[in-house]
Amino acid sequence: MLDAKSKKKFADKFSLNFPLLADEDNAVATAYGVWVEKSMYGKKYMGISRETFIIGPDGKIVAHWPKAAGSEEHPAEVLAWLKANAGS
């Protein structure tokens, strides 16, 4: 389980200067519409749809990539967006 304790350990290990969310009850995932029914080998289960959101200082979504999983180009695309929109 990826609980608050494991998130803190990860953040400490990599000296992150921002908080990590531990959404243990899936409330945030549900609010963002990414807690969805999935299927693997014919078995249905609930899980996270891997998507990327950039949240502005006002708390509103300013960018969204609905298909973030499995793309090697995705991190570079998000970084390019951040650089192009810095200070906006």
**pLDDT digits over 39-59, tens only?**
999 999 999 999 999 999 898
Question: Which residues does the chain have with pLDDT short of 70?
Answer: 1-2, 69, 88
* Distance, CA of 17 to CA of 65 (rounded, Å): 24
User: Would you state the pLDDT for residue 1?
Assistant: 53
The CB density around residue 15, as the number of other CB atoms within 10 Å, is 6
Q: What is the pTM of this model?
A: 0.73
